[in-house]
A and B are shown apart, each in its own frame.
Chain A
Amino acid sequence: MTRRPFDDETPDRLYAVTGGRSRAHETAFDLVTLIISERGPSPGMQSEHIRILHMCHRPMAVVEISAALGLPVSVVKILLCDLLDTGRVSARHPSVRSHADDQSSEGRSLSRVQAGVQRLPNVELLKKVLVGLQKL
């Protein structure tokens, strides 16, 4: 049986799912970081953790996991942190990162606006994207 994501839950579900944790580690994952299970679930694991481990036998993006679980992206990131910390999943991060790792987003926005510079991906990566799209 598929559990209905939000409807039959108490309003406190998101709090319960994350153990009340907030957004501390969210920059560890991009929306499109690919997650792969490394080990199976163990007895007593939280059901959301077990579902993630089952669905990530093949690589799956953070945002796909979010859609499958019916949970907001930020909540999924917290769940993934638990699994990453215990070595049950590994993460393949995008080569084009969000640059959010070492600066606050506020500082980044300001400095970019002031510099008037666009962040552009390198031409080698763009070539690969073009070739892939042309083959569609």
Chain B
Amino acid sequence: MDSRSSDLTDCPPLAGTAADAVKIVIVGGFGVGKTTMVRSVSEIRPLSTEETMTQAGAGIDDVGAVRGKTSTTVAFDFGRISLDDHMVLYLFGAPGQARFWFLWDSLFAGTLGAVVLVDTRRLDDSWYAIDRLEHHGMPFIVARNNFEPPVHSLDQVRDALSLSDEVPLIDCDARWRESSKSVLIALVNHLYALSAAQETTP
């Protein structure tokens, strides 16, 4: 636990002019490569922290998942990318399980968008995340992480996830900076297209 407190000594500080921070969340099941993706593009070593919430503050959704507990705790990793002198992007890697979604509003409201990272050997893990993002009105793309060569075509994955044609689905290798970077760019391009369309049709 000591290392946790000394982690920040390895971290370059933000520019003194940094004034506006934005968030992108990478959601996925255990072991799918969320932290690997954060690490490959972050300017700091990924840090970890947690949030706790008492049941009194709940009642948003999935209360059943925490019934009988007095509080719930969710741990998440994050990294940082300074976009320019003024803007900084924080990337969060978050687990997809039920107790995480019940903290979504208190933690990740105001997030630009999300990347659902999927492992085709465990597609079931992704169903729930996609359903929850739609419920929260959060725009997202889906990225298949290929730690091993893929067996299925992307069309097969799209069918298996019942993913609508409007949601971009791409391949990536979260270990590589260029690949992770292109996932983030694909997400922001998608957000840009959605936002531009919404502005022209008020």
* Mask of A2-21 contacts with B, CB within 8 angstroms, 1/0: 11111100000000000000
**Residue on B with the closest CB to A31?**
B107
Contact: B14 with A58, CB < 8 Å?
yes
The answer on a CB contact under 8 Å between B195 and A33 is no
Give which listed residue, A30, A92, A112, contacts B19 with CB less than 8 A.
A92
* Residues on B with beta carbons closer than 8 Å to the beta carbon of A68: 5, 7-8
Complex Cα distance, B195 from A92, in Å, reads 25
Interface size on A, residues (CB 8 A): 63
Of A96, A117, A120, chain B has the most CB atoms within 10 Å of the CB of: A120
A95 to B8, CA, bound (A): 25
List residues 101-123 of chain B with CB under 8 A from any CB of chain A.
Answer: 105-110, 112
Residues on A lying within 8 angstroms of B by beta carbon are: 2-7, 22-23, 26, 30-34, 55, 57-61, 63-64, 66-70, 72-74, 92, 94-100, 105-106, 108-109, 112-113, 116-123, 125-134, 136
Cross-chain pairs A/B with CB under 8 angstroms, 25 sampled: A4-B2, A5-B1, A30-B21, A31-B23, A32-B21, A34-B19, A58-B16, A59-B16, A60-B14, A64-B8, A66-B50, A96-B112, A98-B105, A100-B109, A105-B106, A121-B195, A122-B199, A126-B188, A128-B83, A128-B87, A129-B87, A131-B84, A132-B82, A132-B83, A132-B84
